[in-house]
Amino acid sequence: MQKLGENAKRLQLICDDVSSVDTPQTDVTVAFNFSYSIFKDRDQLIRYFRATRKSLRREGIFLLDVFGGIESMSNKKDKRVIPAFTSLDGKRYPKFTYIWGQKDFNVITHEIMCHIHFEQSRGPILKNAFTYDWRLWTLPELQDCLLEAGFKSATSYIHGFDQDGDSDDIFRARKKYTNELGWIAYLIADY
């Protein structure tokens, strides 16, 4: 909180059940890092969305990130090398490899188990540093649940691809999108 200085007074941290906590109304609420995926039951998810809608001011928006694609429903590992860096507090971190692993996808329930591992050139491998026991919700399921929870609309914004087949990082509102190996979308739900 020190780094925020005077702005720290405007921040209120609440550790509670999002479905039952009473919060001040906001203009924007976000559920990023696919956090809503912990709700495996449709009724639970709708209760969460209703509570979120209730916490918004009129004309407020709710943003969610969504992942999907052909590879999202398969066992796989993605490795990404993270170059050495210095954090904001001045601490130096050596180069390491970030590994995202998906396993145990259940096609009937869409439950998925994912893990994050870290590998260093010198030092131990940190296996299962983070574990995610989720349900992989589809875009139409999420849109239907948001509308049922009382939002006026739920619009999908999905990136395109560049000439090399990589994401162009430009997210556009779309009504149609051909399935790819993997994609990230943002849903914007209006109060």
Q: Looking at residues 140-152, what average pLDDT do you find?
A: 97
**In the predicted model, what is the mean pLDDT of the chain?**
90
CA atoms of 174 and 176, how far apart (whole Å): 6
In angstroms, the Cα distances linking 115 to 69, 73, 98, 103, 163 are 18, 14, 11, 8, 31
Query: Residue 18: what pLDDT?
Result: 65
Q: Looking at residues 124-137, what average pLDDT do you find?
A: 93
Q: Binning pLDDT at 50, 70 and 90, where does residue 133 land? A: very high
Length of the chain: 191
Percent of the chain with pLDDT over 90: 70
Indicate if the pLDDT at residue 1 is higher than 50: no
Instruction: Show the CA angle centred on residue 182, arms to residues 181 and 183, nearest 5°.
Output: 140
How many Å is the Cα radius of gyration of the chain? 19
> Which residues have C-beta within 8 Å of that of residue 122, sequence separation ≥ 6?
94
Q: Looking at residues 127-153, what average pLDDT do you find?
A: 97
Q: Domain residues of the chain, as ranges?
A: 24-69+135-190, 71-133
Alpha helices (runs of H) in the chain, residue ranges in sequence order: 42-54, 139-148
Class of domain 24-69+135-190: alpha beta
pLDDT in tens, 57-113: 999 999 999 999 999 999 999 999 999 999 988 999 889 999 999 989 999 999 999
Indicate if the pLDDT at residue 2 is higher than 80: no
Question: pTM for this structure?
Answer: 0.84
Contact 117, 128 (CB under 8 A): yes
CA atoms of 17 and 44, how far apart (whole Å): 12
CA atoms of 98 and 22, how far apart (whole Å): 37
Beta strands (DSSP E) in the chain are: 26-31, 56-68, 76-82, 85-86, 92-93, 96-103, 111-120, 126-135, 153-161, 167-173, 183-190
